[in-house]
Chains A and B, each alone.
Chain A
Amino acid sequence: MTTTLGFDLPLYDDRGPIVAPVKAVRRSTGEVVRGMSYETLDVAPGSYLVSCELPAGQLLSTIVAVGDGDAAKALLEPAVGERSPHEWQARAHYHVAPRVRGPISKGFGPRLDVELTFIARQHALGSFAPPSTVSGGEGFVSLELDVGSGDGDLVAVLRERPEDRIQALVVPRGQSVRLVALAEAGGVRLELQLADPEVDMLLRSAARADHEGTSMLAQRVAEKALAAKLSDPIGAAIGAATLLRFNELERLRDWPQNLMSWIDWLPDGAALHGEHMARLGDHTEALAAFLQVGQRGIPFLGDSIQYTVTRLREYRRSGLADASVDALLERIQAIAYDMMFDRPISTFGGVAAIHAYLGSLMGSVGASGGAIQLGSLLESDGYASVFP
């Protein structure tokens, strides 16, 4: 007779149930089993400490006794007073670090005075539909976007007033995303929330969560993406990047290579395969992969940009790469100087980096670049604003 342990994580945001990695420890032996909150695991009978740590830091835990042949269920709910005050705030409440969560969770954060502009290549405008929902409140503004999978990149530019600070975020194509501007100490944070709850959880967890649980989630996300023939290449890239961050070389298998081969427009596939090869000591293959980044554009993930710059610089210095990589290196470094590396999706601040990014895109499609003044971003050569 099978003995099983399931989980009940009764947390919802306005898109549906929140999912998270769960750990169960058999108290008599210390044996650890892991799974996702929607799964049921085969376990040995015994008393289990079941816990789940959310990216914002809430630790949910309970003890459950599992008898021989039982189908037990562990209820993981926030302690009294730790629940999100509203469903529409749940994503931020449970997924965003407390320093960000603070001002908005109580619903009386500062008023946001921001301007959002979207920029795309003109010929790709047909790929983008206007935002379906725009909502906002004290301390945040949120809008839904469906970005087509056509040939085009979309950049969201946020201008903060009255300081006139600028930050830009690359929106991956082929995604249903929610773009959120959140008030936080010292400014506004532009964030992307992805539709797939597991991928979104992974995006938020990678930098600061439990290593084992996050690795397991990353593996699942990547496996799921591959099983679906990479119908979600961004999810696969986030999964692979997380495993690289933990240097889980065996768990990575040949996923980055598949990502690079099967999704020929995705710069991250090339960057992640290059880094994987470099860590395995195959620097010739790594260099070939990194050179493909230049043909594909600027990666969506901050990690991919970091790997590309670091390795290309090293290969140039050591003589493995010749001067032909200099232009690519210079182009990516111009952006990288202003990258916000605590953001998982490529986000950069400052006008210079935005110019460099747009210039880079132009270069990759063979259009003439030239100086782009921020004031004329909306009508710059080769670009146009959508959804003003």
Chain B
Amino acid sequence: MTLLLDQRTDPEVVASGGLHVLVVGVSDYTHLPGRDDVTDPTTFRLTKLESPAKAAFDFYRWIETHQPRLPRKIGSLRVLLSPSALELQKCPEMTSVGAAAATFQQFDDAASAWRGDASAHRDGMAWLYFAGHGLRRTLTDGLLLLADFADPSKQNLFRHCAELEDIFYGMAPAAPDDDVARTQVFFIDTCNFRPPSLGNFGNPVGTKVFQAPMAAVADDRIAPVFSAARPGASAYGQPGEGSFLSRALLRCLEGAAAESDDGSTAWRVSTSSLSKRLQQDFVWLVGRQVPQGVTVGGYAADAPLCSLPSAPEVEFGVRFEPQVAREVAAVHLGGEQVGPPVPFPRSCVIRGGIHQLHVAFGQGYADIHEGPRLYAPPRVTRTLTPKATEGTP
């Protein structure tokens, strides 16, 4: 089963198109060796993986449990998972959702049905999340490897690969009366390198899912493509725990990428705010130093992703120069003291919004007063250099 949530006949979905989501996570590549096995140069020394299926599962779970915050009511939610043994051991509920395996045939069927559902209304939205192996083909295009990649019974090594370009352009309006959702978001959580031996295949061709015609119609979509790795680079994850892109993405959706026009109400995450956060704060979002950088391609205009029920958390930190000043400092934001005055913690959590900073020193330094400023996620770190007065310690 791939269609885990079906609300396509809901009047709200019928009226406004709804949100149609396809989530794919491939860890257990049937025909690839395990991580500790001898690798095969004919399959580019690729091995089974241990984090993409969990990454996809986490994304699916987040969508399912945050429906009221999404910009459209969910019309359809399709999930394909091929988890590794380690992922199943760490997250047994992955089996209970009943998602079909992420083979090429299942992907072909699910993607076709996904496009069909998304074609009901141009005001609808379509999201794709794909986690697994990827091979950079040219430029921004890549092959997405499904679970039965490198099937020895097939002459074509790439038979069970989809092409990112085919998916992207296949989701474009194909005729003047094509009402395919004009707002689409693609998350491609794969490596983005081109093994030298891939050149032996010329320009390797996967199997087309859409084979989009060159339509004489304007492609007026908003359709950003978030890629987990820069061209030539790898994407990473933690075995059994999901990918770093998935972790960063979910933190962003939880509020780390939230913005508010007036700084007090209506905090929301959009593709634009997500793009900024993922590119500027990836290391902070995943909580560790990783040689990975997110890129954003496609048609990167702005579209809403989710709203927040309240002001998001902001990591707030203060450093004092000289350091000794912190021992007599009481830091207030908007009239409320944040953190104990002595010693001030390295950072604490505040709520996003408009605040005025006031630091009272009691002795030794002149107090610091600032005008109102917007404190927005994910973090605000300040270095304060108070002026010494008489009695400076």
B residues 185-243 touching A (CB-CB < 8 Å): 194, 203, 214-223, 230-232
Pick from A138-146, A338-346, A365-373, A374-382 the stretch touching chain B. Answer: A338-346
Is there contact, CB below 8 Å, between B140 and A310? yes
Chain B residues within an 8 Å CB radius of A310 = 138-141, 165
Within the assembled complex, what's the spacing in Å between the Cα atoms of A314 and B382? 51
Name B293's closest neighbour in chain A (CB-CB). A342
CA distance A51 to B291 in the complex (A): 32
Q: Which residues, 133 to 161 on B, are CB-close (under 8 Å) to A?
A: 138-141
Interface check B272, CB cutoff 8 A: yes
- On whether the beta carbons of B261 and A314 are closer than 8 Å, the reply is no
Q: Scoring A residues 324 to 339 as 1 if CB is less than 8 Å from chain B, else 0, what string do you get?
A: 0000000001001111
- Quick check: is B324 within 8 A (CB to CB) of the other chain? no
Is the pair A212, B165 in contact by a Cβ cutoff of 8 Å?
A: no
- A342 near B230 with CB under 8 A, answer yes
Chain B interface size range: 35 or more
User: Is A207 close to B, CB under 8 A?
Assistant: yes
From A51, A80, A315, A318, B384 is in contact (CB under 8 Å) with A80
Q: How far is the CA of A80 from the CA of B383 in the complex (A)?
A: 7
B231–A341 CB distance below 8 A: yes
Of A24-32, A122-130, A151-159, A254-262, the segment with at least 4 beta carbons within 8 Å of chain B is A24-32
B385 and A336 within 8 A (CB): no
Q: Which one of A35-43, A227-235, A240-248 contacts B?
A: A240-248
Residues of B within 8 A of A280 (CB): 218-219
Question: Do A211 and B373 touch (CB < 8 A)?
Answer: no
Q: Which residues of the other chain, B, contact A97 by a CB distance below 8 angstroms?
A: 279-280
A27-B262, A49-B262, A79-B382 known; A341+B272 contact, CB < 8 A: no
Residue contact B223 to A339, C-beta cutoff 8 Å: no
Contact A212 B382 (CB under 8 A): no
Q: Are A186 and B301 in contact (CB under 8 A)?
A: no
Which B residues are in CB contact (< 8 Å) with A309? 138-139
Main secondary structure of the interface of B (DSSP, over half): loop
**Binding-face segment, A3-11, A58-66, A169-177:** A58-66
Contacts A62-B373, A314-B169 given; does A279 touch B139 at CB 8 Å: no
Say yes or no for A98: interface residue by CB 8 A criterion: yes
Rounded to whole Å, the gap between the CB of B194 and the closest CB of chain A is 7
Bitwise, B112-140 to A at CB < 8 A (1) or not (0) is 00000000000000000000000000111
Docked-complex contact B385 and A81, CB < 8 angstroms: yes
Q: Which residues of A contact B36 (CB under 8 A)?
A: none
Chain A positions 282 through 295: 1 when the CB is less than 8 Å from some CB of chain B, otherwise 0: 11000000000000
Inter-chain contact A80/B215, CB cutoff 8 Å: no
- Contacts known (A30-B262, A63-B371); A340 close to B221, Cβ less than 8 A: no
Q: Which residues of B contact A219 (CB under 8 A)?
A: none
A82 close to B (CB within 8 Å): yes
Chain A residues, Cβ within 8 Å of B276: 53, 57, 208-210
- Which residue from chain B places its CB closest to the CB of A48 in the assembled complex? B262
User: Which among A207, A320, A333 has the greatest number of chain B C-beta atoms within 10 A?
Assistant: A207
Q: Is B374 a contact of A246 with CB atoms below 8 Å? A: no
Min Cβ gap A157→B in Å is 19
Q: Quick one: which of B216, B300, B383 has the most chain A CB within 10 A?
A: B300
Q: Evaluate contact between A81 and B230: CB separation under 8 angstroms.
A: no
C-alpha spacing A315/B212, complex, angstroms: 12
A16 touches B (CB below 8 Å): no
> In the complex, are the beta carbons of A79 and B373 less than 8 A apart?
yes
Name the A residues within 8 Å of B374 (CB-CB). Answer: 49, 51, 59, 61
Q: Measured between C-beta atoms, what is the minimum distance from A53 to chain B in Å?
A: 8
Q: Are A208 and B296 in contact (CB under 8 A)?
A: yes
A158 to B266 CA separation, bound complex (whole angstroms): 47
Answer whether residue A281 sits at the interface, using C-beta atoms and an 8 A cutoff: yes
**Pair B138/A98 contact, Cβ less than 8 Å:** no
Task: Kindly state the separation between the CA atoms of A281 and B218 in the bound complex, as whole angstroms.
Answer: 5
On whether the beta carbons of B372 and A63 are closer than 8 Å, the reply is yes
Asked if B275 lies at the interface with its beta carbon under 8 angstroms from chain A, I say yes
Q: Is B299 an interface residue (CB 8 A)?
A: yes
- Among A195-217, those with CB < 8 Å from B are 207-212
**Contact of B140 with A306 in the complex, beta carbons under 8 Å:** yes
For window 45-93 of A, CB contacts with B under 8 Å fall at 49, 51, 53, 57, 59, 61-63, 79-82
Any A CB within 8 A of the CB of B295: yes
Interface contact A249-B218, CB-CB below 8 Å: yes
Q: How near does chain A come to B256, taking the closest CB pair, in angstroms?
A: 13
Choose among B262, B319, B384, B385 the residue with the greatest number of A CB atoms under 10 Å from its CB: B262
Residue of B nearest to A53 (CB): B276
Residues in chain B near residue A305, CB distance under 8 A: 139
Is B263's CB within 8 Å of the partner chain A?
A: yes
> How far does the alpha carbon of A63 sit from the alpha carbon of B264 in the complex, in Å?
12
A-side contacts of B300, CB under 8 Å: 211, 245-247
B254 contacts the other chain (CB 8 A) = no
B residues near A61, Cβ cutoff 8 Å? 263, 354, 373-374
| Inter-chain contacts of B263 with A (CB < 8 A) | 25, 49, 61
Q: Which of A49, A57, A97 has the most CB of B within 10 A?
A: A49
Contact partner, B382, options A81, A336, A338, Cβ 8 Å: A81
A313 sits at the interface (CB 8 A): yes
Q: Given A32-B261, A49-B262, A80-B370, A247–B382 Cβ distance below 8 Å?
A: no
| Contacting pair A62 B382 (CB below 8 A) | no
Q: Mark B366-393, 1 if CB is under 8 A from A, else 0.
A: 0010111110100010111100000000
Q: Told that A25-B263, A49-B261, A81-B383 touch, could you supply 5 new A-B pairs with CB distance under 8 A?
A: A57-B281, A81-B384, A212-B272, A279-B220, A310-B139
Can you spell out 28 A-B residue pairs with CB atoms less than 8 angstroms apart? Answer: A25-B261, A25-B262, A25-B263, A30-B262, A59-B374, A79-B380, A79-B382, A81-B383, A82-B382, A82-B383, A97-B279, A207-B295, A208-B276, A208-B280, A209-B276, A211-B272, A211-B300, A211-B301, A211-B302, A247-B222, A248-B301, A279-B219, A281-B215, A281-B216, A281-B218, A306-B139, A310-B139, A340-B230
B interface residues with partner A (beta carbon < 8 Å): 138-141, 165, 169, 194, 203, 214-223, 230-232, 261-264, 266, 271-272, 275-276, 279-281, 283, 291, 293, 295-297, 299-302, 319, 354, 368, 370-374, 376, 380, 382-385
Give 9 closest A-B pairs by Cβ, nearest first.
Answer: A81-B383, A247-B299, A61-B374, A211-B302, A211-B272, A281-B216, A246-B301, A63-B372, A208-B279
Which A residues are within 8 Å of any B CB, using their own CB?
23, 25, 27, 30, 32, 49, 51, 53, 57, 59, 61-63, 79-82, 97-99, 186, 207-212, 245-249, 278-283, 305-306, 309-310, 313-315, 318, 320, 333, 336-342
